[in-house]
Structure 1
Amino acid sequence: MKQNSMKTIVQIRQVAVVVALLLTGLGHAQNSDKAKTLLDEVYKKVKSYDNIYVDFKYALENKAENIKQETRGDVTIQGEKYLFNYLGATKIFDGKKVITIIPENEEVVIESPDTEDENTITPSKMLTFYRSGYNYSWDMLQNVRGRQIQYVKLVPIDTNSEAKEILLGIDAQTKHIYNLIQTGQNGTRTTITVNAFKTDQPLSGNLFKFNAKKYEDEGYYIIEQ
């Protein structure tokens, strides 16, 4: 596997973690009944949908290192299956295998779910992992173009976590996530903002299926691990 292919896969996994946080409203009830109630409402709302589509903007900034990056991506989730587009690559979980398609290198990497980095949060974990690992508290209320966005602050219980804190912005009316702002221990600030949030969309029966022959015919190198 080419080195830049591995780098792309790692970047996709890292962003997938943050997007998972965005979709679930994670946290552990330690110090705020109001925060718990709001996050429970978000959880129930997400659970009620047959499928979810999110188009998002991803921004990363570290002033000390003079780094500032912005890009966009989108993810479609239905049950255990998902299709994630980011950095020009596509990641699919068809229920059995994780397939990462990297057009830039004409490569496809096929893995079993348990071969992924342990920090990667797959949709199967999205609606369960949030119940432990964080203390949270009620934070600021912000008016964003007429929308009332209520923030909940999440602080990892694990002191070795790469994240110092997370601010989760929730639309007070719809109970949908508006944005997520994660501050790392190294000062890196990662922000994901939802551009579009759609639910219960008509999906193609082939959306989460991988057509190996198509990519073989196009000259892609397929790596199965």
Structure 2
Amino acid sequence: MKFSKIKVFSLMLIAFTGASTLFAQDAKAKKLLDEVSAKVKTYDNMYIDFKYGLSNDAAGINQETRGDVTLDGDKYKLNLMGTTQMYDGKKLYTVIPEDEEITISTQDPGDDDAITPSKMLTFFNEGYTYKWDIEQNVNGRKIQYVKLTPMDSNSELKSALLGVDSQTKHIYRLIMTQNNGSKITITVNSFKTDKPLPANMFVFDESKYGDYYINRLD
């Protein structure tokens, strides 16, 4: 799998049930999302182990795998589907062992179109409308869902369901359906914060990949 951006999100248009009810639901949803954002900002770094699912009934696709990501500010290191993607604050490195290929490019963390791992926990702050949705009990944990719909009518994403642990204010699950019918589900298996990180955690060492083809895009 080759990718330079991690694009995640979508699922169903907002259903309106009346102005007064909608206002109350949106107010609750905004408060919860603000609490999630505030909690994330208190951490120096985060490590997330997650399950990644991709399905598309029309195409006969139903896949599940696991991945993990370490985040420190805008910097991140993501392992998913045999591919490692690392951003050191300036350059984005995508390492594909299966093809013995590395792509190096410049990534602008302010690019609104780049839904990167460093934005995954706060992407909802801009560009989405939101509505209070269902609550689920997962092994004794109350998971409250908020339905998000992109404001951009040209978005490749329809909408998303964001599941938040009501007690910890951590994201537990993200369910996205794209306009092409694909559904992506990311479920957090473990969430660790403020752990000591190796000094070279986000340093790309080209000498380790002597046999790889390196594609420098800029």
How high is the TM-score relative to the length of structure 1? 0.82
Match of 2:205 in 1: 211
Q: Percent identity?
A: 57
User: Is the Cα contact below 8 Å between 1:81 and 1:208 reproduced in 2?
Assistant: yes
Match of 2:8 in 1: 18
Instruction: Report the more deviating stretch, 178-187 or 167-176.
Output: 178-187
For the pair 1:9 / 2:9, whether they are aligned, the reply is no
Match of 1:223 in 2: 215
1:118–1:175 Cα change, 3 Å:
closer
Match of 1:66 in 2: 60
1:224–1:185 Cα change, 3 Å:
closer
The aligned runs of 1:41-120 (5 Å cut-off) are 41-114=35-108, 119-120=113-114
SS of residue matched to 1:38 = helix
Match of 1:186 in 2: 180
Instruction: Report the more deviating stretch, 123-132 or 171-180.
Output: 123-132
- 1:90, 1:127 → 2: CA distance? 20
Match of 1:27 in 2: none
User: Is the Cα contact below 8 Å between 1:79 and 1:123 reproduced in 2?
Assistant: no
SS of residue matched to 1:158 = coil
Consecutive unaligned residues of structure 1, counting only runs of 5 or more, are 1-7, 22-29
- 2:134, 2:115 → 1: CA distance? 27
- 1:184, 1:99 → 2: CA distance? 26
Q: 1:52-94 deviations in whole A, cap 9, x for unaligned? A: 1111111111222221111111110101211011111111111
Superposed displacement of residue 125, structure 1: 5.3
User: Is the Cα contact below 8 Å between 1:150 and 1:169 reproduced in 2?
Assistant: yes
1:86–1:123 Cα change, 3 Å:
closer
- 1:133, 1:183 → 2: CA distance? 17
User: Is the Cα contact below 8 Å between 2:69 and 2:117 reproduced in 1?
Assistant: no
Aligned match of 1:160 in 122, 138, 154? 154
How high is the TM-score relative to the length of structure 2? 0.85
Superposed displacement of residue 113, structure 1: 1.1
Larger RCO, structures 1/2 (Cα 8 Å, 6+ apart): 2
Match of 1:135 in 2: 129
- 2:53, 2:114 → 1: CA distance? 19
Query: Larger % of helix: which?
Result: 1
